[in-house]
Structure 1
Amino acid sequence: MNSMDRPITLHQPKRLEVGVGTAARLGAWAAAAKRPFVIAGGPTADYVARLRLPGDVRVYAEAPPEPDLPAFEAVLEAARAHRPDLIVGLGGGSVLDVAKLTAALWDGEQSVRDVVGPNKVAGRRTPLAQVATTAGTGSEAGIRALLTDPETKSKLAVESPFLLADIAILDPELTYSVPPAVTAATGIDALAHCVEAFTNIRAHDLIDGYARLGIGLIGRYLGRAVENGNDAEARAGMMLASYYGGICLGPVNTAAGHALAYPLGTRLGLPHGLANAIIFPHVLAFNQPVAADKTGEIMAALGLSAETPEAVHRAAHQFCERLGVEMRLEVHGADEADLRLWAEEAHAIRRLMDNNPRDMSVDDVHAIYRAAF
């Protein structure tokens, strides 16, 4: 599965600030900016003052949690009206994705549909700062951005080094107010990024190192962060784990777990982190027969012990439940009659399904959805 000599390219932000209070460092970095444009998601707009930005600051605070094309077009219109010389993403993964695309597209001729896929962005004209306020997606680390197509209910994925942040900031103080349930779900999303890259058919020794670091931090700190939101060490550990997961996404990417989670977001309206948390134990157990050694490493890092697919599923499911995640799709409003359609949609996301270490049929996906129901 791994090959040390296989060519790989790793992109990371030009500058990374990590630790309590680092949000305040953005102002000094951006001292020359005259027209910053901050994209926030509702409550995260309250943190703008902590950034100490100079100049004529415009805050767009209506970025939704799961943005679609019309929502992005509204952001783009506001950015064009302000004509910024700095774009700042301040929020969770969806906000950071919108910031990436805004920085790349607001001052050019390309539309989102023009740049869907790898390496289609012509070039970014505007500096980009990414300030994370959750520990989950690791979007601040990477070169991908996702939007929902309202017509097909599918994800549009853009990948380009021109989406990379010039500076990324991981200030755990900005995550203190994240509720326990959201902390748990987004933390498991970060775990899924690391795990899916680690067990991926495109896995690489370099990325395995980041994945191991991320999984270990999550095993050590996620429970603490859920229990006490003001635990600075745990919050910092989770932000770093999320960042490592974001690094994993660049050259390796996720696999079946995220493919199965996407219809739960686009069709059922679940937050991305929660959708991934629900799916996580099922796909981990499904892949165990072909990735036994790495699955064993994952379980040990999480403080769990299991050697069969059934035991892996049971232990991982209990791990998520103990963190307070409601794991039943039925409780979240799913209709069992819809599961087959969702299975067909998930199976068709070949850019992710083809990365999975074990082939998964539509029937396999349907069985997982039924088990999660």
Structure 2
Amino acid sequence: MSMDRQIVIHQPARLEIGAGAAAKVGEWAEGAQRVLVLTVPVLADKVEMLGLPGRVEVFTEVPPEPDDRALAAALAVAAELKPDVVVGLGGGSVMDVAKLVSVLWDGAQQLPDVIGPDKVAQRLSRLALVPTTAGTGSEAGIRALVTNAETQAKMAVESGHMRADLAVLDPVLTYSVPPEVTAATGVDAMAHCVEAFTNIRTHDMIDGYARMGIGLVGRYLARAVADGTDTEARAGMMLASYYGGICLGPVNTAAGHALAYPLGTRLHLPHGLANAIIFPHVLAFNQPERPGKTAEVLDALGLPEGAGSQHVAAVARDYCERLGVEMRLSAHGAGESDLRGWAEEAHGIRRLMDNNPREMSVDDVEAIYRAAL
């Protein structure tokens, strides 16, 4: 039992769930005079669904893997507008940038000042987070990640001041997500749950959220991939993603996400796809240390039981491939000469690697990349 370990769970002050819930953002923001919406070009036409009051400025220049330069551009727009309300409408990258904008736009603190836990001084604007994919669960927590444009290293900021005042899980907003993106982000949501579930910092309460999230993925991900307008399946996946976001707070991820980060910064793969490619390999690597929990994961996904890491890797990879995820790194531009450098980089992400239940060397990381090639 791990209930004796102290943890803190941060969740949004208000959570709206259900088809059509996006319209609640405008009701919640009533009285705001200046609203900044952070999003991406393909989602700009969905801003109207929020019913926002006052002067609404829409910033769409948030890249899939935002770096400090992209954040600076968003902060410049916010500094001029001085928003009462900041809205993040999009995936995890958009929501992470929105969190940072809501606490940094006045310039009193710069990004380097707040990297790490509990360094943010204050919230400057009310914050609403509206996910349009079911993957990162960023709306559930208080952490934001951006990339250092020079070093390509991920920089993490964590603060209770970045807790959403409102989060909205509206499955209608995910109808237009393509099947391959639905699949990859859904596996990412599951990876958050699984990595917390098998973590050395595991906690009984977080295990509960993780089990619910994994179960929802097993029940609904294939349906959401097959029919993007299956409202029940889309809602189930949004809830799975949210549960995964809760798992990230007090427990966090482990080696899986550490190995995925170089694929995002070096190959420019979307975060969900990078994690989906790595997921079966790390699940299998950790199986000897977490045989019971690994068996639970396979059962929740409807995968056949079997002994040993090779079986786990094979059936988990087959699961992802059947969902339509291209699992070969070589198909995404990776070459064998890349692998050692990426392995050294991933191995150095100690804030995640140190959570892994089984010690992983640089050679082990390289072997996983080679198996995924």
TM-score (norm 1): 0.99
Whole-angstrom CA distance in 1 between matches of 2:89 and 2:105 = 18
Partner in structure 2 of residue 92 of structure 1: 91
User: Residue type of the partner of 1:324?
Assistant: G
Whole-angstrom CA distance in 2 between matches of 1:352 and 1:217 = 25
Cα RMSD after superposing both structures: 0.7
Whole-angstrom CA distance in 1 between matches of 2:27 and 2:338 = 51
Whole-angstrom CA distance in 2 between matches of 1:18 and 1:240 = 9
* In the alignment, structure 1 residue 72 sits paired with structure 2 residue 71: yes
Partner in structure 2 of residue 243 of structure 1: 242
Partner in structure 2 of residue 217 of structure 1: 216
Q: Deviations over 1:331-352 (max 9, x none)?
A: 1000110100000000000000
Partner in structure 1 of residue 361 of structure 2: 361
Q: What is the deviation of 1:307?
A: 2.7
User: Residue type of the partner of 2:163?
Assistant: L
User: Residue type of the partner of 2:367?
Assistant: A
Aligned pairs for 1:1-373 (under 5 A) are 2-305=1-304, 306-373=306-373
Whole-angstrom CA distance in 1 between matches of 2:202 and 2:45 = 39
Whole-angstrom CA distance in 2 between matches of 1:71 and 1:43 = 17
Q: Deviations over 1:226-254 (max 9, x none)?
A: 00000000000000000000000000000
| Greater shift in the superposed pair: 96-105 or 305-314 | 305-314
User: Residue type of the partner of 1:281?
Assistant: P
Whole-angstrom CA distance in 2 between matches of 1:160 and 1:44 = 27
User: Residue type of the partner of 1:320?
Assistant: C
Whole-angstrom CA distance in 2 between matches of 1:11 and 1:310 = 37
Tell me if the contact between 1:210 and 1:247 (Cα under 8 Å) persists in the aligned partners.
Answer: yes
Whole-angstrom CA distance in 1 between matches of 2:11 and 2:204 = 17
Q: Deviations over 1:254-289 (max 9, x none)?
A: 000000000000011111000000000000000000
Whole-angstrom CA distance in 2 between matches of 1:6 and 1:142 = 20
Q: What is the deviation of 1:52?
A: 0.3
Whole-angstrom CA distance in 2 between matches of 1:272 and 1:57 = 29
Tell me if the contact between 1:146 and 1:158 (Cα under 8 Å) persists in the aligned partners.
Answer: yes
Tell me if the contact between 1:37 and 1:86 (Cα under 8 Å) persists in the aligned partners.
Answer: yes
| Greater shift in the superposed pair: 314-323 or 302-311 | 302-311
Tell me the matched-pair count.
372
Q: Deviations over 1:264-319 (max 9, x none)?
A: 00011111000000000000000000000000111100001233111100000000
Whole-angstrom CA distance in 2 between matches of 1:368 and 1:242 = 25
Whole-angstrom CA distance in 1 between matches of 2:118 and 2:80 = 27
Whole-angstrom CA distance in 2 between matches of 1:215 and 1:150 = 34
Tell me if the contact between 1:35 and 1:82 (Cα under 8 Å) persists in the aligned partners.
Answer: yes
Q: What is the deviation of 1:108?
A: 4.0
User: Residue type of the partner of 1:143?
Assistant: I
Whole-angstrom CA distance in 1 between matches of 2:307 and 2:221 = 23
Taking only the aligned residue pairs, the percentage that are identical comes to 69
Residue aligned with 1:289, SS: coil
Q: Deviations over 1:36-62 (max 9, x none)?
A: 110011211111000000001111112
Q: What is the deviation of 1:372?
A: 0.4
Tell me if the contact between 1:147 and 1:157 (Cα under 8 Å) persists in the aligned partners.
Answer: yes
Whole-angstrom CA distance in 1 between matches of 2:77 and 2:310 = 51
User: Residue type of the partner of 2:6?
Assistant: P
User: Residue type of the partner of 2:353?
Assistant: M
Whole-angstrom CA distance in 2 between matches of 1:294 and 1:168 = 31
**Unpaired runs of at least 5, structure 1:** none
Whole-angstrom CA distance in 2 between matches of 1:46 and 1:245 = 28
User: Residue type of the partner of 1:319?
Assistant: Y
User: Residue type of the partner of 2:309?
Assistant: P
Residue aligned with 1:45, SS: helix
Residue aligned with 1:370, SS: helix
| Greater shift in the superposed pair: 100-109 or 318-327 | 100-109
